Amino acid sequence: MKRLFIALMFISSAAGATVIDRYATELDVHADGGSRAMVTLDLKKCQAGRFVLPVGFGGMDRLEVQAAPDGVVLKPVPGKESSTLEIELPPGIAASNSLRFAFAAPDVLGRPKTAAGEKAKIAADTQLLRHTFVNTGALEIGVYELSVQLPGDLRVQKIAEQLPRTKRSEVLPRVRLDRTDDRQGADLQLANMKQGDRTSMVLNVVSARHSYGWLLAGLALSLAYLVGFRSLVKAEPSPESQSAQPS
C-alpha cells in the first residue's frame, strides 16, 4: 500500500509539471442544436503521467483522436453539465506536443427550459447558445479559446453574457463576433486560467431571414414616406404664386 501511494504521488507530481499552453475548441453547431467540437491542445514541458482536462460540455460522444504522439491515451468521462478527459502521457514523450481530437457535444443551442406556468424570458423566435468553462483541473491554462460557427440560416442577435469582464490590460474583448464563409460565429477567449477560474458566454440567436424582413419593411416605409412627402410638396402652392394671383 505504501509503495502504491508513493507511485501515485510520483505520477501526480510528474504530470503536474506539464503546461497547457493553449486550449482551443472549434464548435460547429448543427441546426438541431447539437454540435461537433474539434479541440487543439498545445502542451509544453510534458512529463510522463496522467492529468485531467476539464471539458465545458455536458457530453462527449464519439471521441475521435485526430493527432497525438505514440503512447498517448485519452479517456473521456462524460458529465451532466461538464465533462473531463483523462490524458495519459507515456515515458519519453517530447517536451512540446499538440493533441487534436473531436467529439459530439449535444444540446449547445436551443430554447431555455421553463417550469410549468412560468413565462419565457426571451422572445419565442429566439434560441440561446450557452457555454461555461471552469478550470477544475490542477494545471494552469495559458489561453482558453472557443470559436463557434452557427448554421447558415442563423445569426447572433445579441451577446447576452460575456464573463469575466475584460481588464484594461486586455487588448481583445471577451467575446467578439465574426463571419466565415457566410456563417456567423463568435469567439470567446481568456488567458492565464488557474484552477477554479471560470469563463462563460450566452448568445441570443435568431433566424437570419428575420434581418432581411425588417430591412425590407424599413425600406418600404422609407419609400412610402418619400412618395407622400413629394406629393404634399407638389400640392401646396408657393408664397410667390399666391402673391402673383389677382385679387
Pairing mode, if any, of strands 141-149 and 19-29? parallel
Q: Do 204 and 221 share a domain, yes or no? A: no
Task: Give the residue numbers spanning the domain of 106.
Answer: 17-208
Rounded Cα distance between 165 and 12, Å, is: 33
Mean pLDDT of the chain: 85
Residue 2 lies in a domain: no
pTM for the structure as a whole: 0.78
Q: Tell me the CATH number at 117.
A: 2.60.40
Rounded Cα distance between 92 and 184, Å, is: 43
Q: Do 81 and 133 share a domain, yes or no? A: yes
pLDDT digit string, tens, across residues 215-236: 454 555 566 556 655 655 555 5
Rounded Cα distance between 43 and 24, Å, is: 12
Q: Do 113 and 158 share a domain, yes or no? A: yes
pLDDT of residue 113: 83
Q: Do 60 and 163 share a domain, yes or no? A: yes
Which one-letter DSSP state was computed for residue 124?
T
The answer to which of 26-35, 136-145, 187-196, 237-246 has the lowest mean pLDDT is 237-246
pLDDT of residue 115: 76
The CA radius of gyration of the chain, in Å to the nearest whole number, is 27
Residue 200 lies in a domain: yes
pLDDT digit string, tens, across residues 35-86: 999 999 999 999 999 999 999 999 899 999 999 999 999 999 998 889 999 9
Percent of the chain surpassing pLDDT 70: 78
Residue 125 lies in a domain: yes
Strand partners, 98: 42
Q: Do 131 and 229 share a domain, yes or no? A: no
Contacts of 137 (CB under 8 A, 6+ apart): 51, 52, 53, 54, 84, 195
Confidence of residue 210 (pLDDT cuts 50, 70, 90): low
**Count of beta carbons in the 10 Å neighbourhood of residue 63:** 14
Q: Do 218 and 196 share a domain, yes or no? A: no
- Phi-psi sector, 111: left (phi>0), alpha (psi -120 to 50), beta: beta
Confidence of residue 118 (pLDDT cuts 50, 70, 90): confident
Contacts of 111 (CB under 8 A, 6+ apart): 120, 127, 128
Q: Do 58 and 165 share a domain, yes or no? A: yes
Confidence of residue 114 (pLDDT cuts 50, 70, 90): confident
Which amino acid makes up residue 74? L
Q: Do 192 and 219 share a domain, yes or no? A: no
Q: Residue 214 belongs to what H/E stretch? A: helix 208-235
Residue 100 lies in a domain: yes
pLDDT digit string, tens, across residues 85-97: 999 999 999 999 9
